[in-house]
């Protein structure tokens, strides 16, 4: 009897020890409210990567909480994940939340990766904070090159009032100045999230007789805008930055985006696309390959550092020729990653890469 009790205690001790040594990741994402479509995509990519890691024998625990894209709530969740769950790494969504969680990650020496964060301030002069997204500079370079090649002469830009969008727009303006084409831009308007009426801004589009309109808006706002463009019979090319690549968005806008082109990260690998489609029966949209790779990178860093978060951060900042859902790429040297960009077009058959 005493021997049996000893064996039971030993089993529970071993289970507890194994759990204590497992990699722990906390995902903080907008799963409801503004940005929920983006948060749900990131959640799917994250969970798929965690499942794959477990299949490969990695002891890993994932904790997920909804922050509604509300900074105070994000901070509370991060502090709880760190103090109670003892996470080794945090995943967050977007520049705004990345900027508020990064100081917490630095203070606690916890790795943080911000998915979909374009604002360089998230990682500037930091050790433990990273972004996993196409850089604004690379997007802007490709966008301006395409605008010039298509010989547009009067362009407008609509953007959401948000740190990541502002970072992208600043890069676009900087690249336009560098290429001496700043005079192409005739209208530049910004809107708060969940805008319901774009009519006055669209009247300006008509007045200026624009021949193209660049859209840097959140999904919900894109749907509203495209419907109002159609209602006002404004027939000009719509140019996207990142967010056109979403089959649910395309469905919600009817035929409003077919034939329009956009700039985004290059296509995910066929292997990842199949893995994602087999699991969720949909195209891997915004942030899904990034969140998948973010988990994979954290797993590799964890395995190569003996759970030392300082070593994990050093590993991530210097990784070379990493092979993931977005192909083969390396760290950029400034806590970002050199993800390739591409120009694509929305068609009824899907999202087609032009170059």
Which residue, 119, 171, 141, 113, is CA-closest to 324? 113
pLDDT tens figures, 134-181: 999 999 999 999 999 999 999 999 999 988 899 999 999 999 999 999
Q: Is 125 in the same domain as 6?
A: yes
Domain that holds residue 204: 136-241
Alpha-carbon span 293 to 324, nearest angstrom: 6
Sort 241 into a burial class: Cβ within 10 Å, 0-12 / 13-18 / 19+.
buried
Six-digit token string for 345: 């077009």
Average pLDDT over residues 39-66: 97
Torsions phi, psi of 249, nearest 5?
-65, -45
Question: Count of alpha carbons within 13 Å of 91, Cβ hemisphere only?
Answer: 36
Domain at 166, CATH number: 3.40.50.2300
pLDDT at 163: 86
Q: Is 140 in the same domain as 130?
A: no
Return mean pLDDT, the chain. Answer: 92
pLDDT at 214: 97
Q: Is 90 in the same domain as 140?
A: no
Alpha-carbon span 351 to 334, nearest angstrom: 31
Residue 264 lies in a domain: no
pLDDT tens figures, 182-215: 999 999 999 998 899 999 999 999 999 999 999 9
pLDDT tens figures, 5-19: 444 444 444 444 334
Torsions phi, psi of 14, nearest 5?
-65, -40
pLDDT at 33 over 70: yes
Six-digit token string for 233: 């019979």
Alpha-carbon span 286 to 304, nearest angstrom: 29
pLDDT at 271: 97
Which residue, 145, 153, 216, 219, is CA-closest to 178? 145
Residue 216 lies in a domain: yes
Q: Is 111 in the same domain as 130?
A: yes
Give the largest CA-CA distance in the chain: 89
Q: Is 125 in the same domain as 156?
A: no
Q: Is 176 in the same domain as 324?
A: no
pLDDT at 319: 96
Residue 282 pLDDT class (50, 70, 90 cuts): very high
Q: How many domains does the chain contain in total?
A: 2
């Amino acid at each position: 009897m005493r021997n049996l009790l000893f064996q039971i205690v030993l089993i529970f001790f071993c289970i507890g020890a194994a759990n204590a040594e497992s990699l722990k990741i906390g995902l903080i994402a907008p799963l409801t409210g503004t940005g929920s479509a983006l948060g749900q995509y990131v959640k799917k990519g994250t969970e798929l990567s965690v499942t794959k890691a477990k299949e490969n024998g990695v002891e890993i625990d994932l904790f997920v909480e909804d922050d509604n894209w509300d900074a105070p709530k994000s901070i509370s969740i991060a502090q709880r994940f760190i103090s109670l769950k003892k996470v080794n790494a945090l995943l967050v969504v977007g520049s705004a939340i990345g900027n508020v969680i990064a100081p917490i990650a630095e203070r606690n020496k916890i790795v943080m990766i911000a998915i979909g964060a374009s604002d360089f301030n998230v990682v500037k002069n930091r050790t433990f904070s990273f972004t996993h997204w196409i850089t604004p500079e690379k997007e802007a370079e490709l966008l301006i090159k395409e605008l010039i090649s298509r010989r547009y002469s009067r362009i407008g830009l609509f953007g959401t009032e948000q740190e990541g969008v502002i970072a992208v727009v600043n890069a676009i303006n900087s690249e336009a100045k560098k290429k001496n084409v700043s005079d192409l831009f005739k209208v530049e308007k910004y809107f708060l999230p969940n805008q319901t009426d774009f009519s006055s801004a669209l009247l300006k589009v008509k007045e200026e007789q624009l021949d193209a309109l660049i859209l840097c808006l959140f999904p919900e706002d894109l749907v509203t805008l495209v419907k109002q463009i159609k209602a006002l019979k404004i027939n000009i090319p719509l140019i996207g930055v990142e967010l056109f690549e979403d089959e649910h968005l395309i469905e919600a806008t009817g035929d409003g985006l077919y034939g329009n082109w956009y700039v985004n990260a290059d296509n995910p690998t066929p292997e990842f696309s199949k893995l994602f489609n087999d699991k969720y029966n949909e195209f891997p949209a915004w942030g899904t390959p990034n969140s998948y790779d973010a988990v994979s990178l954290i797993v590799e860093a964890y395995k190569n550092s003996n759970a030392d978060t300082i070593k994990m951060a050093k590993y991530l900042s210097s990784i070379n020729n990493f092979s993931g859902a977005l192909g083969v790429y390396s760290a950029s040297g400034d806590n970002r990653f050199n993800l390739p960009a591409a120009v694509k077009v929305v068609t009824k058959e899907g999202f087609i890469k032009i170059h």
